[in-house]
Structure 1
């Protein structure tokens, strides 16, 4: 399935309007380097890049079909916009870079991700909240697993 650029452009425009963001947005097919990243915010360029083929793969893996792929795109895009709108992101990244150990790094990274999701939820008024929750849980699962206490 090829995602329609006209639909994606409308979704992007709507979300930019809703968020009040002036971030630049690029649509590409795949994230370079082979990782399954659906979207990325580049702080230096103040730009969000969305990877449309990866969005489709992720949606298929998580939900078993592409029926809701445009909603999935919208949710991931809103999350990336959340990073763009976070006034404390640069400070948090400095803290992340200066973290003493892996656990501290993971805790800070989780805070960064949770803050972006907090912004995103406010803009996702027309997407089913349970659909959003599944995506958020999946996106934060690795952080929670890493921070979970080890039981013997």
Structure 2
């Protein structure tokens, strides 16, 4: 993926969102998991992991034809974390949870908030494409909650 295209997407979405978050580009998430992006609340920094995003795009769409769109959606999601006015409060609640169910519900809410922001930020994005990414991103959170109910 061309670095110029990535930088154009980043600059466009930063401008569109009004975010002052700093953005860093890395190859891979240091803990080896397939994490495409990470927001650091303390540093107000978004780190995007290009190698991981490439792998995720291939896994989900069996092609890199959608790479820029996929990157755009994932970056918009991370901007959603950066601009979430409830994130600090939700993070505090997460630290004092008394049950695993409560922790999972709050984690899901944090992710849903970021995805709602991303969807508002990208009204021109193909909705079926975006819904697929959102569905697979939220699936592990929802599965944890469902397993507790069962």
SS at match of 1:100: coil
| C-alpha distance after superposition, 1:79-128 (max 9, x if no partner) | 00000001111110010111111111000000010001111101112320
Q: Does 1:129 align with 2:127?
A: yes
Task: Point out 4+ residue stretches in structure 1 off by more than 6 angstroms.
Answer: none
Who is 2:5 aligned against?
7
TM-score normalized with structure 1 length = 0.95
TM-score normalized with structure 2 length = 0.96
- Per-residue deviation, 1:33: 1.3
Where do 5+ consecutive residues of structure 1 fail to align? none
Match of 1:72 among 70, 73, 83: 70
Q: How many residues align?
A: 148
Who is 1:107 aligned against?
105
Where do 5+ consecutive residues of structure 2 fail to align? none
Aligned residues: CA RMSD? 0.7
CA distance in structure 2 between the partners assigned to 1:125 and 1:115 by the alignment: 16
